[in-house]
Structure 1
């Protein structure tokens, strides 16, 4: 585990679990977390009740060192002083007892993978990351978390407060659902490579959020569906010559499939190194805007649910 930082906030829902005692952390209550990189290189935050937080492995010199403390109530800031170095030995023993230690195997088995699409909170552990999607093997540098396939952060992909997010099919690439193959696509608009390169050079992190239910539906041809989708995305990234973070929602009507915001929650909580996203500068581009010719309104509703500025590709890529 990489060096961690301590964060405090009010629980966004009642679905997170204390990594010390294994019990639920109630919605709205004060929780304290240790945030850092997991073994797989992903951003991980382990949440605890105040009295379960392991100060021995996460020493705190001052409450002011805790991320998020400025947004807490004055009374809760004072309560957090129990975590400061020099707290009474009886409190240290309570917090650092064996049953509350994050290294206790019996407690680690109780860790839950949860998501709340209302507040965008998603928690996961390294053990939930897999190299396959059900019976389909993923190519190197691609992983699976529940019903999402994503690419591992590669060279040049920088985290940023500015997010430029895009749909894939019908937005960046022209594809046909009836035709498979890594090469069965073409650029949607000629201006796309230059536009994406400009965003990258301006400090934006480029992200693709794409639905692909065929990976779930094609039970007898799932490997074909996986190879086709990943192959197209990899070839697209090579064509535009900029690094892009990709999330593929494979489920049907679940919390990760657009317009639900599960994929955005993953980016925000675990794939941006804790960098706060500037919603005023970030945006999303997609073709499913609920217009008469559109197949759905999933993209515009996805952007609305998150609070992102939204553009249709014809406008964003200056199609005349």
Structure 2
């Protein structure tokens, strides 16, 4: 199982459920949007959210069924076998079922990932490494024939020690199991049919898991939950 730096130092395995409808409202900040690939653009919201979204907004049903995933330890593992990625190319698919399963899906695909070792600054080495890795993943999925117009990625970076912006509280709000990233998705899709949507993640509170944050995130968002071992079979 893979985990980010902040998750490893968390003392408790269990996180209390939280309400989905958060009252936390970010203050105005300048969002930075740039091109990531031929199919996707990347928006850095202040420094507290990395949003990777289709270049062209697709037509999606008002109450869309989604299939959502964690990233590390769920869709991918490190190629090196290290707990943490050593660079943009240090990744491989979780197993040989991942890509075929993604290709079978007829729903929008969303990735929600905590990235506690990444700083949300476009010049930071950790940011460049992370976004470069995402670009490689997107390119591989495009080669395999995935509908790239229905794929979103939301990443929660860490707060830099030098951060002096107005939205310090938003870093924690974006971090799973809180629902900040899911609430950002609702701005893209308008509505999600939670009763038939699923979130797949490896932090399920099982023996050996570093946390149950993925399971709690699904519960807080009102989504069904599965582990990668259950989904990718």
Q: Which residue of 2 aligns with 1:230?
A: 131
Kept after mapping to 2: 8 A contact 1:122/1:265: no
* Distance change (3 Å), C-alpha of 1:171 and 1:153: same
Q: Confirm whether residue 257 of structure 1 aligns to residue 175 of structure 2.
A: yes
Kept after mapping to 1: 8 A contact 2:42/2:50: yes
Q: Which residue of 2 aligns with 1:307?
A: 222
Q: Which residue of 2 aligns with 1:75?
A: none
**Distance (Å, rounded) in 2 between the aligned partners of 1:128 and 1:278:** 31
- How many angstroms does 1:263 deviate by? 0.1
| Larger relative contact order (Cα-Cα within 8 Å, sequence gap ≥ 6) | 2
Kept after mapping to 2: 8 A contact 1:180/1:224: no
Match among 53, 65, 71 for residue 168 of structure 1: 71
TM-score, with normalisation over the residues of structure 1? 0.53
Taking only aligned residues, the RMSD between alpha carbons, in angstroms, comes to: 2.9
Q: Which residue of 2 aligns with 1:291?
A: 206
Kept after mapping to 1: 8 A contact 2:113/2:154: yes
Larger Rg over CA atoms: 1
The 5-angstrom pairing of residues 1-320 of structure 1 reads: 118-120=20-22, 128-131=30-33, 141-146=41-46, 147-155=48-56, 159-160=60-61, 161-175=64-78, 176-199=82-105, 202=106, 204-216=107-119, 223-241=124-142, 242=146, 243=148, 244-251=151-158, 254-268=172-186, 270-272=187-189, 274=190, 276-318=191-233
TM-score, with normalisation over the residues of structure 2? 0.71
Q: Which runs of 5+ in 1 are unaligned?
A: 1-115, 133-137
Q: Which runs of 5+ in 2 are unaligned?
A: 1-17, 160-170
